[in-house]
Structure 1
Amino acid sequence: MQKSQRLIQLIMMINAKKSFTVRELADEFGLSTRTITRDLQELSELGIPIYSIQGRGGGYKLLQDRMLPPISLSESEAIAMFFACQSLDYFSSLPFGEGAESALQKFYHYLPADIKEQIDRLDGRIMLWSPYRSMAPGILQTLMQAIMTGEVVTMEYNSSSGIAKRDIQPIGLYTSSGYWYCPAYCFEREDIRQFRADRILSAALNPSVPPLDEIRKMTLMNKPEKGHLDQTVLHIEITRKGVWLLESNPRFAPSIQRNEDGSGAAAIQIATEDLRFYVDLIWNLGSEVKIKGPVEAITYIQEKVEAMRSLYS
């Protein structure tokens, strides 16, 4: 085996171990302890964070931030990876700390000159844009840590009813329109709720609260079913422009029935508890959408209209 191949395999092996001895590695590779010691010294000089363990038994260990082995990428793969990472620049906060920016800098630094030139020509011409939203990166990092370890988080949450302390078990994190959302099991409500990360004022892992195994197994694809709740049907009429605006919204698009002139209508079955949420979405479209029923939805939209009229009277 060539030395370069041996060093790569050595990196992969020690990455998989919490600790190791020179003798263990020598037996694995069928080499002398002297050769393995020289290889470890060379890896250390290349920046692999290996340090020796003092005391009985001795041996070696990697620092917490382990190094990954080299990965071969084609030119198109390298460009795709670069812009995928660069898209994160448009978020005010990320759950990865400074890791994303550091990785992008390293990645760009080691690209061949001609690939760098291609990327430089695309700078400012290709963007995966997201609206800027201000939030604390530490909150996102705590939520991500809880997702990875399956632990419970104690947080202070600022909802429409005020600031409250909650114990939650996060299921996942996702972003939409620049906001980060965290679906989680709420121990107070004994149900799955969705929380906006920018409304979380403080968050800390709480090992004193036992996590639920069934929640640990859930992913973002496990959308909570609401068929057991009271249901209602939201009827709306939509102008041609309204159809154009709503056809990209997955909550409305499947229910839209289009007319020949481009206008449309929709009857959307939803949980009654979500009615105001849907009306608020429709409110943003102004006169492009008219609510035909139920009465509760019409009453709520009339209240919003009256509140706006009073504000400007």
Structure 2
Amino acid sequence: MSKMRRLIDIWLYINRVKRFTAQEIGVKFNISLRTVQRDLLELTEMGVPFYSEVGRNGGYVMLNNEVLPPISFTEEETASIILTYESLKQYQDIPYKIEIDSVIRKLLGQVSEPLQKKLLSLKDYVLMKIPNRKEENPFLREIFQAAIIKQQILFSYDSLREQKDKTAVPLGIYSENGYWYFPAYDLLYERISLFRVDRVKSIKGGESIDINLPTIVEWMNLKKQNVDENTCTLVLQISRRATRDFSNSFFDFSKITWNENGTGILLQEISENEFQYIASLIATFGSEAKILAPQKLKDILILKLKKTISLY
């Protein structure tokens, strides 16, 4: 094994175990204590963050801010990382905005000047369009980190009608239509509720608790499977033009059965609790869509349109 390969293997090992002794490293990698001391000194000079503990049971302890060993990327791999990060930067707030800028600088700093220019030009040819929202999300990172360690958070939440104090454990964060959301287990009501991150006005971290909660992906899958008591089937006649121009992800256009005349029928299960919201969405289609059922949703849409017409 080459010396560099051994140093990287030791680096990965101490990153994983956190606490270690020179004797332990010597046995693990079949090297002498003198070689261990030289290797640890070189790792220190490379910036690996650990310190020695004195005393009878002394050894070494890794600091929390782990630094990974050097990794080589191909041009295509570097381009994919930069494009992914640049697309995330289109959000006003993301959990690791400062770190993303740092990663891109480090990647570009390792390549030649011609390749730097080529990689920097990539963002001029790819664009992921995300709705531009003015609402700020100052607590996005805290909520994300609390989800990872199952930490309860105490936060003040603006529910539009009133501001409420909540204590909950976040499951994670997700973005939809330019907004950030987080489902969280409400400790008072013992249920999972959905919150919008920009409506959190203050936050305070609590203790991590041992509780069996689904991941955000599991929660979303369960949400799709659960059938609401007030669920009914939406039957919507819609044109191809409407599906092309519509940016909201609420309707599942993959379920449309298309006719030869360019119109199709969408059958989708919807909740009566969302009728007002759904009617507002369908109103944006104008003459490109028509509700065939349920009648109650038709009536709500008609009333909305009448109120709009009365303004003129």
TM-score of the superposition, structure 1-length normalised? Answer: 0.86
SS in 2 for 1:108: helix
Q: What's 1:289 paired with?
A: 289
**Greater Cα offset, 117-126 or 82-91:** 117-126
Q: What's 1:223 paired with?
A: 222
Q: What's 1:178 paired with?
A: 178
Offset from partner CA, 1:128-147 (integer Å, 9 cap, x none): 34333345554211221122
Task: Describe how 1:42-81 pairs up with structure 2 within 5 A.
Answer: 42-81=42-81
Q: What's 2:18 paired with?
A: 18
Cα distance between partner residues in 2 of 1:183 and 1:159: 14
Indicate if the aligned counterparts of 2:231 and 2:269 stay in contact, CA closer than 8 A: yes
Cα distance between partner residues in 2 of 1:165 and 1:268: 36
Q: What's 2:193 paired with?
A: 193
Q: Does 1:280 align with 2:280?
A: yes
CA distance 1:137–1:240, change in 2 (3 Å) = closer
Q: Does 1:162 align with 2:162?
A: yes
Cα distance between partner residues in 2 of 1:154 and 1:50: 34
Cα distance between partner residues in 2 of 1:83 and 1:243: 27
- Give the CA deviation at 1:175: 1.6
- Give the CA deviation at 1:275: 2.4
Aligned length in residues: 311
* 2:300 counterpart letter in structure 1: Y
Cα distance between partner residues in 1 of 2:3 and 2:252: 60
Cα distance between partner residues in 2 of 1:106 and 1:97: 15
Indicate if the aligned counterparts of 1:152 and 1:211 stay in contact, CA closer than 8 A: no
**Greater Cα offset, 214-223 or 277-286:** 214-223
Task: Describe how 1:1-313 pairs up with structure 2 within 5 A.
Answer: 1-96=1-96, 98-136=98-136, 138-207=138-207, 210=209, 212-215=211-214, 219=218, 221-224=220-223, 225-245=225-245, 249=249, 251-310=251-310, 312-313=311-312
**Greater Cα offset, 129-138 or 14-23:** 129-138
Offset from partner CA, 1:169-204 (integer Å, 9 cap, x none): 322222223221223333455443322211222233
TM-score of the superposition, structure 2-length normalised? Answer: 0.86
Q: In angstroms, what is the RMSD of aligned CA positions?
A: 2.8
Cα distance between partner residues in 1 of 2:59 and 2:301: 70
CA distance 1:284–1:204, change in 2 (3 Å) = farther
SS in 2 for 1:203: strand
CA distance 1:243–1:34, change in 2 (3 Å) = closer
- Give the CA deviation at 1:102: 1.4
Fraction of identical pairs, as percent: 29
SS in 1 for 2:88: helix
**Greater Cα offset, 124-133 or 2-11:** 124-133
**Greater Cα offset, 112-121 or 245-254:** 245-254
Indicate if the aligned counterparts of 2:242 and 2:285 stay in contact, CA closer than 8 A: yes
- Give the CA deviation at 1:90: 1.2
- Give the CA deviation at 1:111: 2.6
SS in 2 for 1:84: helix
SS in 2 for 1:234: strand
- Give the CA deviation at 1:5: 1.4
- Give the CA deviation at 1:240: 4.7
Indicate if the aligned counterparts of 2:89 and 2:97 stay in contact, CA closer than 8 A: no
- Give the CA deviation at 1:66: 0.7
5+ residue gaps, structure 1, are: none
CA distance 1:216–1:86, change in 2 (3 Å) = closer
5+ residue gaps, structure 2, are: none
